[in-house]
Structure 1
Amino acid sequence: MADTHKVRFEPVGMEIEADEDETVLDAAFRQGVMLIHGCKEGQCSACKSFLLDGDLQMGRYSTFALPDFERDEGYVLLCRSHIYSDTEIELINYDEDMIRSGLPVVTVQTEVDSLVELTHDISLLRLRLPAGSQSTLRFHPGQYVDITVPGTDEHRSFSMANLSAAEGHLEFIIKRYPGGRFSSLLEDGLAVGDPLRVTGPYGTFTLRVASDRRLVFIGGGAGMAPILSLLRQMAESGNEREAVYYYGARTEDDLIQLAELARLAEQLPSFRFVPCLSDRRPRDWAGETGLVTDVLERQEDNLADCDVYLCGPPPMIDAALPLLEGMGVPEEQIFFDKFTITAAAGGLTDRRRIPVPPMSQDTERCAPMATAENTAPRSFPRIEFTGAEAGLKEFPSSKSRSYSYFTPRKKRATMYEDVTVDVQPDPERHLSQGWIYGFADGKGGYPVDWTVLRSGDWHQFLDPNEEWEQTIYRNNSNVVRQIQLNLENAKKAGAYRDWPMAWVTFLERHLGAWMHAEHGLGMHVFTSEQRSAPTNMINTAIAVNSAHKLRFAQDLALYNLDLSEAGIGFDGAAHKDVWHSDPAWQGVRENVERLTAIGDWAESLFATNVVFESLVGVLFRSHLVMQVAARNGDYVTPTLVGTGEHDHDRDQRYTRALFRMLTRDETHGEYNRDVLQGWLETWLPLSVRAAHELQPIWSQPQEKPATFADSFDAATAGLRGLLSDLNLSEPKGLAR
């Protein structure tokens, strides 16, 4: 049996396991992780990614998909990649929502249920799923499966036109090609009851339900299948987005599924179907004529606020892409499947799906081939510089991703390192002329004396979470989306109605009070610190910490408003008096307010994340609220508070890495340990007192499975482990 290794995908932070005898892409499919992909055979480059670390080898592939110079840089094709150690890979093209909503790829044996000719060259193939496989094979509307050609190891890919495998069948609209390896069987090679093996689902041509933009569908021929599936999804879910479907056919006899589209139009009041005929020989045709792209151009003006879905043959796609660009559609709002004709042995041909590489993380498309462009003569002089005149300098790796001015932690530089390391100028490294900006008191740039701690090289610190601007925006938005979904479902289910009144009172008073602590730390501790550290890498980590705290405080505030309107007797204003005057909370309040007044950024970070968060934050969030909520019939609050605990885990990870670097500094380690030990002796008693003053609230919920003593022991155990890792001694005041 082949060995199994872990694959970590950045920047999304997901992990899978892959056997040595399967490709990384197949391993992801097997585990329901839907990566952007196309041909799955090393021909199209849709799955191109970057190897950060690990032992990876590729099978045969086309150098059109991966040129040699890109391979030498570290790029790989996931569909051809086998790993032989734990590996880290950076995804270049990805849609995080799609990745996380993936479904496992499975293989099932089906039977031909029916075969109907829709036109002279298009058939409707219906496959019956065996009993029980409906729960095994699942797919999102718009996806496709591979159908194995009987008697061969070859397959052809076709999109489902129906809504769900739960219907007990799969429905395909397939164009028949003369001599096609599979499609020719639709005329005389397949009969009802014949077995066909299908594998899937694949593809990311799915409806982005989070968007509320107008939908424009463009298709032709058998490309109707996935679009029909998406329209059926909209009808079933009651989606009210405005939508129009421009469908191209040659003659009126080539129009298909008209009755079904009329039925969908009745269910979708904001939907229009616009058939377009390229051959207008019938005199009684009153509809649109010309190529579908011509009709689109006549009927539409600016499509900048639309999501556009295209499915059809290459000429239609190739004509539509530059047109859509000219009509203002951003690249990330265009999604499409593209089909090509595959040459088979003996000159036989068939249609085959080759979705082309995405242009950005949210699309499944490729850039059109470069064409000559006529530019009007300029009416004023144009100043041009050569590279040398403009100051351009070249060095051995200037055209390489692996920049020579810093050494990556791993085999390859990560995206985080590329956008974070040495982004700020620093005369200690590359800014030979000194600081180019400063402060009113004469200090320049990022003064190292804004903390008493010392480092031989502050730039050694890299955030183990690898957070930067894009990741924090994306991660926070994902958390907010999940919380909103949970709260909406809770309201629909009436989840709040059965809560004991004692638990309602506990939440209005104490969870509301904790909101003030989170906001105070986010706004007045971390926000003020995030420009004070001597490197961009430290400041970015602190800024992310601030964003975590502010988002969590906002989540608690919005939750407070939701419960106030739930009709359960929840007093949404009670938290203010609790925070200001309840004796149980005055220790926490004093602790937080004193943290906001620290002048040394490192002391502020240490006193907050190492001491206060370990003893008070974890104690309240994890060892009280998370433990007690379910016992009081509340399964909603833990989903919210759990996001705060997840944030804390990530924030403590970078804090631990930073202070471990400082306590182990070859030159200043002993000095730094003495300073930190002094800070610990100063701040620990304040946080211990704040924790103990919270003890009375442990008795207030109706159901209370945890005692304060046990909760405090668990919190202090975590702090002891952290102090040990930092080579700091445990103060006497930490005893139970």
Structure 2
Amino acid sequence: MSEPQIAKPLKTWSHLAGKRRKPSEYEIVSTNLHFTTDNPDAPFELDPNFPMAQWFKKNRNASPLKHGDWNAFRDPDEIIYRTYNMLQDGHENYVFGLFDQFSARGHDAMLEDGWARHLARLYTPGRYLMHTLQMGSAYLSQMAPASTISNCATYQAADSLRWLTHTAYRTAELKKTFGDLGFGTGERGIWENDPAWQGFRELVEKGLCAYDWAEGFVALNLVARPAFEEAGLRALGQAGRHNGDTLLGLLTDAQLADAERHRRWTGALVKMALETEGNREALQNWLAKWAPLGDAAIDAFCAHLPDSPGAAQTAREACAALRRGYGL
């Protein structure tokens, strides 16, 4: 009589065994971390009908965007918490070096009053928009069907917070030189009422109500973020350079460097989604809903940029080209 066979225990990181090599640091700390995907019928291993479980089943599991293995997604930059902090520590040193150097040479005192008024209207109220971008990224991080997607969204949220803090720092600096222009006190009213911001306000506030994880991804990463990056960063930074505000141009350039990394992982996720039949139609349907709002936001904002002829058209074309580059 033969001896019963004893099953061999699975080795550590057995879900990566198919690679036939030692897993990388990125793979070890980033893949297959979502316990809420283990049992689709009971995402939290509790009552499958309690409200949070129903929310995830509706807005993640039942999303029109489908894939056989979302955990196969990989960040093209393979960013992890350790390397993100190393990378952005260097970026923050650069940004605060800009603050120190321009402050030491009396930069704000050399700005014309007319341009400072544009900053009070078109730059410092952007804190509100940056916060909504952070919130949208945080929601995507919570709802994404794979931890490798959630990680990208988490670092994206952190970058939005960094952008916000840079803008808040500049708000406080500008207030010291232009104390009568409402820096630090007038931005909420401008965000809620000024025509330059109402397109973006509609876009991002509606975007925060796109509860399906994939629709939220489309509204945020394929429409709202590119629209802001092309109009509220690139075009605004160029207007700053035209008006002697080199600091603003350099700050927006630094933020756009983060945006390029966000665009790389966004493109990788779209490419992966397009591998599954039916996903192209779902993505294009959502784009048909959200892209007009993005274009309207660009038009409204750029209409008030000084010394920026053709800025709106350039920004809209850049957003459309980005989406075409993703295959949409």
Q: Shorter-chain-normalised TM-score: which range?
A: 0.7 to 0.9
Say which SS state the counterpart of residue 422 (structure 1) adopts: coil
CA drift at 1:438: 4.2
**2:291 is the counterpart of 1:678:** no
Say which SS state the counterpart of residue 497 (structure 1) adopts: helix
- Counterpart Cα distance in 2 of 1:534 and 1:419: 16
CA drift at 1:617: 3.0
Contact preservation (8 Å) 1:437, 1:445: no
- Alignment partner of 1:437 out of 22, 25, 45: 45
For structure 1, the 5+ residue unaligned runs are: 1-392, 729-736
Contact preservation (8 Å) 1:614, 1:716: no
Q: 1:421 to 1:695 in 2, by over 3 A?
A: closer
Q: Letter of the 1:682 partner, please give it.
A: K
Q: Letter of the 1:534 partner, please give it.
A: P
Say which SS state the counterpart of residue 304 (structure 2) adopts: helix
Q: 1:713 to 1:551 in 2, by over 3 A?
A: same
Q: 1:559 to 1:410 in 2, by over 3 A?
A: farther
How many residues align? The count is 314
**2:171 is the counterpart of 1:571:** no
- Counterpart Cα distance in 2 of 1:545 and 1:682: 23
CA drift at 1:426: 7.2
Q: Structure 1 stretch 678-687 or stretch 468-477: which is displaced more?
A: 468-477
Contact preservation (8 Å) 1:612, 1:687: yes
Query: Higher helix share goes to which structure?
Result: 2
Written as runs of structure 1 = structure 2, the 5 A alignment for 1:252-401 is none
- Counterpart Cα distance in 1 of 2:120 and 2:48: 46
Q: 1:604 to 1:574 in 2, by over 3 A?
A: same
CA drift at 1:494: 1.0
- Alignment partner of 2:28 out of 418, 424, 428: 418
Equivalent residue for 1:630?
A: 241
Contact preservation (8 Å) 2:63, 2:212: yes
- Counterpart Cα distance in 2 of 1:585 and 1:486: 27
Q: 1:425 to 1:444 in 2, by over 3 A?
A: farther
Equivalent residue for 1:553?
A: 164
1:254-284 CA deviation, whole Å, 9 max, x = no partner?
Answer: xxxxxxxxxxxxxxxxxxxxxxxxxxxxxxx
- Alignment partner of 1:532 out of 143, 148, 162: 143
- Counterpart Cα distance in 1 of 2:102 and 2:27: 41
- Counterpart Cα distance in 2 of 1:619 and 1:407: 45
For structure 2, the 5+ residue unaligned runs are: 1-7
CA drift at 1:407: 5.6
Q: 1:630 to 1:601 in 2, by over 3 A?
A: same
Q: 1:450 to 1:538 in 2, by over 3 A?
A: farther
Equivalent residue for 2:4?
A: none
Contact preservation (8 Å) 2:199, 2:300: yes
CA drift at 1:394: 6.2
Q: Letter of the 2:273 partner, please give it.
A: L
Q: 1:435 to 1:595 in 2, by over 3 A?
A: closer
- Counterpart Cα distance in 1 of 2:110 and 2:193: 30
- Counterpart Cα distance in 2 of 1:552 and 1:593: 19
Contact preservation (8 Å) 1:588, 1:690: yes
Contact preservation (8 Å) 2:302, 2:312: no
Contact preservation (8 Å) 1:459, 1:537: yes
- Counterpart Cα distance in 1 of 2:238 and 2:267: 26
Equivalent residue for 2:272?
A: 661
Equivalent residue for 2:317?
A: 717
- Alignment partner of 2:94 out of 472, 482, 503: 482
- Alignment partner of 1:498 out of 104, 107, 110: 110
Q: 1:712 to 1:410 in 2, by over 3 A?
A: farther
Equivalent residue for 1:694?
A: 301
- Counterpart Cα distance in 1 of 2:210 and 2:203: 11
Q: Letter of the 2:195 partner, please give it.
A: P
- Counterpart Cα distance in 1 of 2:15 and 2:282: 33
CA drift at 1:409: 7.5
Contact preservation (8 Å) 2:33, 2:146: no
CA drift at 1:587: 1.4
Q: 1:564 to 1:445 in 2, by over 3 A?
A: closer
Q: Letter of the 2:31 partner, please give it.
A: V
Written as runs of structure 1 = structure 2, the 5 A alignment for 1:65-76 is none
1:143-191 CA deviation, whole Å, 9 max, x = no partner?
Answer: xxxxxxxxxxxxxxxxxxxxxxxxxxxxxxxxxxxxxxxxxxxxxxxxx
Say which SS state the counterpart of residue 464 (structure 1) adopts: coil
- Counterpart Cα distance in 1 of 2:115 and 2:202: 26
Equivalent residue for 2:15?
A: 405
CA RMSD of aligned residues (A): 2.8
1:549-596 CA deviation, whole Å, 9 max, x = no partner?
Answer: 122112111210111123575531232221111122111111111111
Q: Which of structures 1 and 2 has the larger relative contact order (alpha carbons within 8 angstroms, sep 6+)?
A: 2
Say which SS state the counterpart of residue 727 (structure 1) adopts: coil
Q: 1:684 to 1:437 in 2, by over 3 A?
A: same
Q: Letter of the 2:182 partner, please give it.
A: D
Contact preservation (8 Å) 2:16, 2:23: no
CA drift at 1:411: 7.0
1:400-452 CA deviation, whole Å, 9 max, x = no partner?
Answer: xxx55316889763321121112334776xx9xx9773466354997552522
- Counterpart Cα distance in 2 of 1:436 and 1:581: 42
Say which SS state the counterpart of residue 531 (structure 1) adopts: helix
Contact preservation (8 Å) 1:496, 1:568: no
Q: 1:421 to 1:726 in 2, by over 3 A?
A: same
- Counterpart Cα distance in 1 of 2:127 and 2:36: 38
Q: Letter of the 1:716 partner, please give it.
A: R
Say which SS state the counterpart of residue 79 (structure 2) adopts: coil
- TM-score, normalised with respect to structure 2: 0.85
Q: Letter of the 2:193 partner, please give it.
A: S
Q: Letter of the 1:634 partner, please give it.
A: D
- Counterpart Cα distance in 1 of 2:85 and 2:54: 30
**2:119 is the counterpart of 1:511:** no
Say which SS state the counterpart of residue 143 (structure 2) adopts: coil
1:211-242 CA deviation, whole Å, 9 max, x = no partner?
Answer: xxxxxxxxxxxxxxxxxxxxxxxxxxxxxxxx
Q: 1:650 to 1:407 in 2, by over 3 A?
A: farther
Equivalent residue for 1:596?
A: 208
- Counterpart Cα distance in 1 of 2:230 and 2:301: 13
Q: Larger Rg: 1 or 2? A: 1
**2:137 is the counterpart of 1:521:** no
- Counterpart Cα distance in 2 of 1:426 and 1:408: 23
- Alignment partner of 2:327 out of 727, 730, 733: 727
Percent of residue pairs bearing the same amino acid type: 23
- Counterpart Cα distance in 1 of 2:170 and 2:18: 42
- Counterpart Cα distance in 2 of 1:444 and 1:407: 33
Query: Higher strand share goes to which structure?
Result: 1
